[in-house]
Structure 1
Amino acid sequence: MNTTESARLVWFKSSHSGNEGGECLEVAADATAIHVRDSKESGGSQLAFTRTAWAGFVTEVGRSRPN
């Protein structure tokens, strides 16, 4: 994905993330992929997952969370 395409994405940060820094991710979706980046390095590298792969990831994270 080039910089112009990345700039068109609408990024969302978790409501659990504060403004004091830390380890936060931002997520954006387009027609074919889910994009993930470090909120402190918004102009840096990002990962892109197919929607199917992202759904599987989120499902597994939900299963492994302690109650």
Structure 2
Amino acid sequence: MSTEALQWFKSTYSGSEGGQCLEVATTPHTIHIRDSKNNPAEDGPTLHLTPATWAAFTASLG
């Protein structure tokens, strides 16, 4: 799936000034993560994780 077709969103913890933000998009089997500074039209680097891996990662942050 092209990352252009995904619906990306920023965390509610991200400020409106830009800077160091991540954007996330989900599909049933994959969590897609990218740096918000990358131009979406350029289809910059994207990290792809399974939902289980994403859940383990976010659980480790708390």
TM-score by length of 1: 0.77
> Could you say which structure has the greater relative contact order, defined with CA pairs below 8 angstroms and 6 or more residues apart?
2
TM-score by length of 2: 0.83
Gaps of 5+ in 2: none
Gaps of 5+ in 1: 63-67
Q: Which structure carries more helix by proportion?
A: 1
If you compute each CA radius of gyration, which structure gives the higher value, 1 or 2?
Answer: 1
Taking only the aligned residue pairs, the percentage that are identical comes to 49
Count of residues paired in the alignment: 59
SS at match of 1:58: helix
2: CA distance, partners of 1:40 / 1:13: 12
> Residue type of the partner of 1:33?
T
Question: How many Å apart are 1:21 and its aligned residue?
Answer: 2.2
RMSD: 1.3
